[in-house]
Amino acid sequence: MTLNEITRVQEYLRLTFSNNRIKILQPKKPDAPIEVYLGDEFIGVLYRDDEEGEISYTLNISILEEDLPAAVSI
């Protein structure tokens, strides 16, 4: 993913979620995952897909069960 694409996706996410703390780091190696952060907290990985010339981006956010708040009764 180019630096221009990373910058555009970062701006899109910041506008969509009204949060300027979202940042996408350019990987140090070309094939390394593209990491997404909220401030200093890692929140997910960004992927680029090019299918028949139609480009899309996927943000994968994993949530560990141990990070969830205590269960609430419904």
Q: How far apart are CA 56 and CA 26, in angstroms?
A: 17
Region of poorest pLDDT, from 15-19, 31-35, 58-62: 31-35
Task: Provide the pLDDT for residue 26.
Answer: 92
Look at residue 13 and tell me whether its pLDDT is greater than 90: yes
| Of 50, 44, 51, residue with least CA distance to 25 | 44
Look at residue 32 and tell me whether its pLDDT is greater than 90: no
